[in-house]
Copies of this chain bind each other. A is one copy, B any other.
Amino acid sequence: MKLTKEQQNEIKNQQSQTNKTRRVTVANLENILFEAIPVLDHGFVRVIDYMGDDTSIVQAARVSYGKGTKQVSTDSGLIKYLMRHWHSTPFEMCEIKYHVKLPIFIARQWIRHRTANVNEYSARYSILDKEFYLPSQKNLAAQSKINRQGRGEVLQGEQAEEVLHLLKTDAETTYQNYEKMLNQKYDGSTIDENKTGLARELARMNLTLNTYTQWYWKTDLLNLMNFLRLRVDHHAQYEIRAYAEVMLDSLQKWVPITYEAFMDYRVGGLEVSSKGKKVLKKLINGENISMEDSNLSKREWNELMNSFDLKDKLVD
């Protein structure tokens, strides 16, 4: 992530402003406001704006005239209660806005979360930056043999080098040809005065999916948690998880009480099916129960046993 001098100044400029407000503020989040937190090789996450804090959830749940807080312990109890019983609307009363730089193939995963507001940098209107994602060696994983949409071992030696070389060369070549078609360099300078450039809305189709794009992304706290719950999960693709983890950190700074409840009930929690519940009951009562008797599929059985560290009960 290389910010230009001008970009750095624009960020510093915003960070140095001190405005007065009657709205609730969150000191820990203000501290990182506007900062470009690096993700992957050229990406970043910036918190641009926010509305509300933990007390806003309580205030809305109570439809109160004053602030939410009576005392911290009461607020915390209510927020946990709301989280546990899947109350959703009070968490929608807080809002956050991010500026994110990310590879296009990750943007395509991300955009599937529809309950958010998005403004993406327009490649019809502007030339995209000359930046593309290249995985570090330790993230260069082989296709998983057991999970059709997962990763297996890390590639080694020659093959790893070959892959990186291909990714790099193809991204560079296609970007150069993008410039050639535009008849403009990435910095806007004309290449050949006697030529006309292809329309930007067409030339962009030559770029590879690891090219970086950027957007403003704004969502409410409920939908942020829905996003994070899925994207910090170990089933999520590493590259989007890298963004989710930085955002999870901003969640903790913003609404620490909600964060704690979120980690306890959602991220660290577990859903047990009706059939799974019967299995657990037997285990608690010290009764014997086998996969065959449980009516669970092998996959479900193993997921359940793994959740409770019952390695000896795993089935091949």
CB-CB under 8 A from A155, the residues of chain B are: 196, 198
- B15, A297: Cβ atoms closer than 8 Å: no
CB-CB under 8 A from A270, the residues of chain B are: 271-272, 277
Question: A268 contacts which of B177, B201, B277 (Cβ < 8 Å)?
Answer: B277
- A23, B50: Cβ atoms closer than 8 Å: yes
Question: A269 contacts which of B19, B148, B272, B283 (Cβ < 8 Å)?
Answer: B272
Least CB distance from A275 to B in Å reads 6
- B280, A275: Cβ atoms closer than 8 Å: no
Instruction: A105 to B204: give the CA distance in the assembly, Å.
Output: 8
Instruction: A141 to B197: give the CA distance in the assembly, Å.
Output: 9
Instruction: A84 to B78: give the CA distance in the assembly, Å.
Output: 29
Instruction: A220 to B115: give the CA distance in the assembly, Å.
Output: 12
With A20-B20, A264-B273, A265-B273 as known contacts, state yes or no: A181 contacts B197, CB within 8 Å.
Answer: no
Instruction: A142 to B21: give the CA distance in the assembly, Å.
Output: 47
- B177, A166: Cβ atoms closer than 8 Å: yes
Interface residues of A, dominant DSSP: mixed
Interface string of A97-139 (1 = CB under 8 A from B): 1010001110110011011011111101100000001010001
How many residues on chain A are close to B (CB under 8 Å)? 142
Q: Which residue of chain B is the closest to A89 with respect to CB atoms? A: B119
A7 at the interface (CB under 8 A from B): yes
A33 at the interface (CB under 8 A from B): yes
Q: Which residue of chain B is the closest to A86 with respect to CB atoms? A: B230
- B108, A108: Cβ atoms closer than 8 Å: yes
A60 at the interface (CB under 8 A from B): yes
With A22-B18, A143-B199 as known contacts, state yes or no: A268 contacts B264, CB within 8 Å.
Answer: no
CB-CB under 8 A from A66, the residues of chain B are: 7, 9-11, 13-14
Question: A277 contacts which of B120, B204, B230, B308 (Cβ < 8 Å)?
Answer: B308
A186 at the interface (CB under 8 A from B): no
Question: A51 contacts which of B13, B97, B99 (Cβ < 8 Å)?
Answer: B97
Instruction: A91 to B181: give the CA distance in the assembly, Å.
Output: 34
- Among A51, A115, A264, chain B packs the most CB atoms within 10 A around the CB of A51
CB-CB under 8 A from A118, the residues of chain B are: 89, 112
Interface string of A297-309 (1 = CB under 8 A from B): 1011000000111
- B49, A205: Cβ atoms closer than 8 Å: no
With A97-B93, A114-B114, A271-B271 as known contacts, state yes or no: A143 contacts B182, CB within 8 Å.
Answer: yes
CB-CB under 8 A from A61, the residues of chain B are: 119
Instruction: A111 to B111: give the CA distance in the assembly, Å.
Output: 8
Could you write out 24 A-B pairs with CB less than 8 Å apart? A7-B66, A11-B66, A19-B24, A20-B30, A21-B25, A60-B119, A63-B119, A63-B120, A65-B99, A84-B300, A86-B230, A92-B117, A104-B108, A117-B220, A143-B196, A143-B198, A143-B199, A151-B202, A155-B198, A162-B180, A167-B206, A204-B209, A206-B209, A269-B274
